Amino acid sequence: MSLRGITKRFGEFTAVDDIDLDIKEGEFFTLLGPSGCGKTTTLRMIAGFEEPNAGQILVAGSDVAGLPAHKRPTNTVFQSYALFPHLTVRDNVAYGLKRKRVGKDEISKRVDEELQRVGLAAEANRKPNQLSGGQQQRVALARAVVNLPKVLLLDEPLGALDLKLRKGLQLELKRIQQEIGITFVYVTHDQEEALTMSDRIAVMNRGIVEQVAEPVEVYERPATTFVAGFIGVSNLMPGVVRSLSGDKAEVELEAGVTVSAEANGLATGEQCHAVVRPEKLFVAKKGEVAPQQGADAQSVDGVVASSVYLGTATQLVVELRGGSRMTVLCPNTDESERQSLPGGGAEVSLSWTPEHIHLVRESDSERATADHEALGMDRSAAA
């Protein structure tokens, strides 16, 4: 499925701004981003509940423009399960097939198969109000999948469930998707959910797509400051590229050291941020390097601003020169090591292996906001 230059405006406001996406057949593809970034609007345009102002939506090679939702080769699963309350679980799942006048025996076979798949064979004759939230969402899933759509669209389907149930259903949804091989386009604002389930993730911000990549890639090699901050903790050290040599850049960090990292297309003189994930940072007394680190380790000095015990790990926040704050996760594997961790106010050295530092550009949308703020314009004034 492909989106080409898709744009959606509501009055003066552009909710989705010229998006291009290529989603592979059988892929679990996630639209991830904060509230209001345009992910639901994008999904609703694919489903046919909303018409784009510009652009094309191609499903299995054909343009679906102008087709009403029920004629598109897509089905949608919503956060609110939207089941028919007066129908049994079986009849809810059978509903779409009956409307398409599929034969009785085939309906029965396919409905049984889907109820089995989602683990609800025993509840087939119950009504929705006799089911838990998680079970109702399974019915909604079975009801969509039984129609064999080319693409299944899921809008925060686990959003109404409690955390433990959500985690269980995440793995189950992934298993079901792999089993049936249908393309899933999944909308969520939950980064952990996106990382757990997706083959690829499109990270959206203010109507644009900032990065499309596999989960490991968006976490380990975020493309922009926004992606780095939205997926995981925003561990950003501002700096400027001083020189380039091959594919390496020498970056002078505001924190007072110069480090070498993959240039990632940055040019000499360009402002950038260096990201190191919390679990890739080691902490030692000022002037020392943590014993786990090799001779090529890079380091920077700072002061511990806070230390919090989280059970499996201790989280330190270290303030660097220039004011940026780095979060460090120290696993609580050894009690004596945990007790010897520096407390608030201690002067420390943070170190990392060169392969774990990654340079990112400032997001265009963040820069635009910063420019507006610098000019004394707020968003509403700008609009």
| Chosen residue from 1, 3, 15, 77 binding ligand ATP by CB under 6 A | 15
Interaction of residue 159 with ligand ATP, rule CB under 6 A: no
Q: Give, as one character, the DSSP assignment of residue 131.
A: S
**The two structure tokens encoding residue 325:** 């704050």
For ligand ATP, the closer of residues 356 and 372 by Cβ is 372
d(CA 320, CA 302): 4
Q: How far is the CB of 16 from ligand ATP (least distance, A)?
A: 7
Residue 206, C-beta contacts closer than 8 angstroms, at least 6 positions apart:
17, 37, 38, 365
Nearest Cα to Cα of residue 276 among 210, 309, 324, 341: 324
How near is the Cβ of 212 to ligand ATP at its closest, in Å?
16
Rank residues 27 and 156 by Cβ distance to ligand ATP and give the closer one.
156
Q: Looking at beta carbons only, is 10 or 84 nearer to ligand ATP?
A: 10
Alpha-carbon gap, residue 16 to 207, rounded angstroms: 4
Residue 10 binds to ligand ATP (criterion: CB under 6 A): yes
- The phi-psi region of residue 262 (left if phi > 0; otherwise alpha if psi is between -120 and 50; otherwise beta) is beta
Min dist. Cβ of residue 207 to ligand ATP (A): 7
Residue nearest ligand ATP, Cβ-based: 40
Closest CA to 304 of 327, 273, 270, 332: 327
Judged by beta carbon, residue 81 or residue 352, the one nearer ligand ATP is: 81
CB of residue 41 vs ligand ATP: minimum separation in angstroms?
Answer: 3
Shortest distance (Å) from residue 18 CB to ligand ATP = 15
- Closest among 176, 182, 153 to 72, alpha carbons compared: 153
Helix (H, G, I), strand (E, B) or coil at 332: coil
Window 333 to 362, contacts with ligand ATP (CB under 6 A): none
**Which one, 36 or 342, has the nearer CB to ligand ATP?**
36
Residue (5 or 265) nearer to ligand ATP, CB: 5
Q: Which residue intervals of the chain are DSSP H helices?
A: 39-47, 89-99, 104-117, 133-145, 163-180, 191-197, 215-220, 225-230, 335-339, 364-374, 379-382
Would you say 35 or 312 has its CB closer to ligand ATP? 35
Count the site residues for ligand ATP by CB under 6 A.
11
Supply the minimum distance, in Å, between the C-beta of residue 372 and ligand ATP.
Answer: 17
Q: How far is the CB of 30 from ligand ATP (least distance, A)?
A: 12
Nearer to ligand ATP, 31 or 139 (CB): 31
The C-alpha atoms of residue 383 and residue 177 are separated, in whole angstroms, by 41
d(CA 23, CA 28): 9
Nearer to ligand ATP, 18 or 220 (CB): 18
Footprint (CB under 6 A) of ligand ATP, residues 23-42? 33, 35-41
Residues 177-206 that bind ligand ATP (CB under 6 A): 189
Q: Count the neighbouring beta carbons within 10 Å of the beta carbon of residue 18.
A: 15
CB of 43 to ligand ATP, least distance (A): 8
Query: Binding of ligand ATP at residue 52 (CB under 6 A)?
Result: no
Rounded Cα gap, residues 355 and 297, in angstroms: 9
Q: Which residues bind ligand ATP (CB under 6 A)?
A: 10, 15, 33, 35-41, 189
